[in-house]
Amino acid sequence: MNTEMILSQIFWPLGKLLFFVSLGLFVGNLIEALHWTRHVAKIARPLARMGRLGDISAASFSIAFVSGITANTMLAEAYDQGNISRNELILSNLFNSLPTYFLHLPTMVFITVPILKSAAYIYLSITVGAALLRTLCILFVGRTILVGQTQVSPVMPAGDASLHFFDVLSKTWRRFTKRIKKILLITAPIYVLVHLMHKTGVFTAAEQWLSTLMGGLSWLNPQAMGIVVFQLAAEFSAGMAAAGALLEAGSLPVRDVVLALVLGNILSSPMRAFRHQFPYYAGIYKPQMAMRLIIFSQGFRIVSLVFCALVYAWWAQAG
């Protein structure tokens, strides 16, 4: 690998990742130093309290509509300080999957609708339904396992008018520099390791192995398997392109195309989530907790998508 490739494939993307992680960390610390958490939490507090989640979790949920990195940083900081329990940390991270989904929804709409046309609305409805279902389940689980904790995290103090701007910046900077060192020491080597695994074909081999399991999907139209394989071997847009071509040619009904896209989504997302999320998750949280959060998130996501896809398949067959 020459110098130009190292710069373009490792240092430049790693630099961008560390910049956004650093920015999210700084903003999260600034919000806390200014005591704005209480005000930000007001947006999602009624919903969060249904699951016995506190102000920090509610604030993180609201911030996640803008920045997932900042939202995770707020949760990690609160957990490290003992302001939220491990159960609330896990539930809050899962709770944030709804705003994170809506953060990327516009991109999905602009990709799927021109290619899939009417089928796009069915596919998006399944994914939106799965996101809403996850949120309801998380609130139910939170209300069940956080019994006796009507507000697990402490009430954040209201804004202090006596705070001076430079005092706030000084406090923010001290906490930022303390934590960013750990993030740099963990995120950078893990990112390089994951990149090397990608370049040496580890992820490709895993995805190809998954694609060999397609033979066990006898219920799926053989032509629809191509959509799944494209999503596994290439990327989301490749599967969409294959689905669009089959729809345009009239080779497959909408039902089979939608189910194939959902299946491809289920099989391909965990590997890509690990590849893209683990390097910065391991910097924000401890590596063990980072892996636990990704496993919970992807497992819960798969279950919700399977359920919604089965509901659609039943409805389509009944209709």
In 3D, which of 274, 281, 260 has the Cα closest to residue 203?
Answer: 274
In contact, 188 and 91? CB cutoff 8 Å: no
- Rounded CA gap, 235 and 207, in Å? 11
Residues 6+ apart with CB under 8 A from 180: 22, 25
Q: Of 41-45, 101-105, 209-213, 315-319, give the lowest mean pLDDT range.
A: 209-213
* Contact (Cβ atoms closer than 8 angstroms) between residue 186 and residue 282: yes
Q: Write the pLDDT tens digit of every residue in 224-242.
A: 777 777 777 656 666 777 7
Q: Give the model's pLDDT for residue 303.
A: 94
At 27 the pLDDT is 74
In this prediction, residue 280 carries a pLDDT of 80
- Domain coordinates in residue numbering, the chain: 7-149+186-318
Sign of CA dihedral 288, 291, 293, 296: negative
Among 10-24, 44-58, 125-139, name the one with the lowest average pLDDT.
Answer: 10-24
